[in-house]
Structure 1
Amino acid sequence: MATFVLIHGGGGSAWDWHLLVPELISRGHDVVVPELPIEDSSAGFAEFCQTVLDAIGDRSDLVVVGHSYGAFTAPLIADKRPVRLLVLLTPMVPKPGERPGDWWANTGYHGTEGLSEEQQFYNGVPADIVAEAAAHNRDQVSTEGNDPWPLDAWPDVPTTVLIAREDQFFPADFQRRVAADRLGTAPDETDGGHSVALSHPKQLADRLTAYLLP
């Protein structure tokens, strides 16, 4: 049994994973879903990291999954605790010393002009789930956006980038280029949009658990 540590993205919450959690549990695994202190104007990377470590407690055999902006936090956990696998899901892949606020220009991100927020983040998500989402979004006022990413190098942990083919926020071609530039890897791909844990939870659970097979 592995412990999946699911780290939400910017402005998100543990709710973002609520359809994936039972899928992973039904496959025999433990799941930890921390709420990062993004609404705390004094919180930064250190507080994000400690929140996740506190949620993990003494659990072991960790698979850390960082979604979107959560990819800035996920490697910090792999630097602090033994981690079996690091999965970056439709991610913002950081590099040492980079300020998250600079990531957009540094990666050459051109935005998604003409698309609504729903089209960018929730394409493919059932309408009833989209209707619930606004109640779970949070204002991100934490300080880490202006702080250099604290690692000097990528942690020595097996790392997989998993992108969604229909992602309209971070298009697949953009994600392939960033993964190659920053990690020297070609990402794995799955069906769905940016919020793939809400649109394809069963398929995502199958993919994540398949990574554990010999």
Structure 2
Amino acid sequence: MATFVLIHGGGDVGWYWHLLEAELRARGHEVVAPDLPCDDPAAGLSEYADAVVEAVGDRRDLVVVGQSYGGFTAPLVAARLPTDLLILLAAMIPAPRETPEDWWANTGYSEASREQAKRDDGKTGNDDPLVSYYNGVPRALAEEALHRAREESPTAWRTPWPLDAWPKVPTKFVLCKDDHLFPPDFLRRIAAERLGIIPDEIPGCHCVALSHPKELAELLVSYIAD
């Protein structure tokens, strides 16, 4: 049995993972899915990691999963706790001393998003979150997610990522084939450039834990089976 530590993305809540949590628990695993203190304007990345570490407590056999903006927090947690596997899910991959605010320009996100939008009739980078984040999520579930959304701390946004190097933890990267926020080609490039990783790919939108929780659970569990 593993303990999956699920770290949500920007302005979100631990509820985001509830369907995946049910799938993982049905397969015999434990789950920790805390709310990050993102609605505290004074909270930085260290406080985000503190919240996760506190929620994990003395649990072991940890698989740390960071989704989207959670990619800045997940490796901080993996560096502090005895982690068996670190999984980045449609996630931002930080470089040492890089702020989340600077990540977008440093990675060439805007150009990649514009190029993909030309190919998918403007779905990528669309201002409507039902298109850019929740495409493929049942409408009522997507509206519930939007209702639960919170503000994101400006302090964390401008905090340099504090590690000097990626933690010495086995790392996987999962991209979502129907992601309209982070184009798959963009994530393939960033994963290769920053981690030397070829991503695994799964059907679903940026919020894949809501659109394809069963498929995601099967993939995550397959990693520890291997």
Question: TM-score scaled by structure 1?
Answer: 0.97
Give the stretch that moved more between structures: 70-79 or 108-117: 108-117
Alignment correspondent of 1:18:
18
- Percent identical among aligned pairs is 55
Whether the aligned pair in 2 keeps the contact of 1:37 and 1:142 (CA below 8 Å) is: no
Structure 1: how far apart are the matches of 2:125 and 2:87?
28
CA shift, 1:115, in A, is 4.8
The list of structure 1 runs, each at least 4 consecutive aligned residues, that deviate by more than 2 angstroms after superposition, is 111-115
Structure 1: how far apart are the matches of 2:197 and 2:4?
23
| Counterpart selection for 1:210 from 201, 206, 222 | 222
Structure 1: how far apart are the matches of 2:174 and 2:87?
7
Alignment correspondent of 2:40:
40
Whether the aligned pair in 2 keeps the contact of 1:98 and 1:148 (CA below 8 Å) is: yes
Quote the RMSD (CA, aligned, Å).
1.0
- Structure 2: runs of 5+ lacking an equivalent: 114-123
Give the stretch that moved more between structures: 184-193 or 142-151: 142-151
CA shift, 1:142, in A, is 4.4
Alignment correspondent of 2:200:
188
Return the letter of the residue paired with 2:67.
H
Residues 95-174 of structure 1: matches in 2 within 5 Å?
95-110=95-110, 111=113, 112-174=124-186
Whether the aligned pair in 1 keeps the contact of 2:4 and 2:29 (CA below 8 Å) is: yes
Deviations 1:69-98 (A, max 9, x none): 001000001110110100000011111110
Structure 2: how far apart are the matches of 1:92 and 1:48?
15
Alignment correspondent of 2:76:
76
Deviations 1:131-157 (A, max 9, x none): 211211001124111111000000000
Whether the aligned pair in 2 keeps the contact of 1:39 and 1:142 (CA below 8 Å) is: no
Return the letter of the residue paired with 1:106.
N
Structure 2: how far apart are the matches of 1:131 and 1:105?
30
Go from structure 1 to structure 2 and tell me whether the alpha carbon gap of 1:28 and 1:114 turns closer, same or farther (over 3 Å shift). closer
CA shift, 1:117, in A, is 1.6
Go from structure 1 to structure 2 and tell me whether the alpha carbon gap of 1:61 and 1:172 turns closer, same or farther (over 3 Å shift). same
Question: TM-score scaled by structure 2?
Answer: 0.92
Whether the aligned pair in 1 keeps the contact of 2:90 and 2:175 (CA below 8 Å) is: yes
What secondary structure is seen at the aligned counterpart in 2 of 1:58? Answer: coil
What secondary structure is seen at the aligned counterpart in 1 of 2:133? Answer: helix
- Structure 1: runs of 5+ lacking an equivalent: none
Structure 2: how far apart are the matches of 1:66 and 1:122?
18
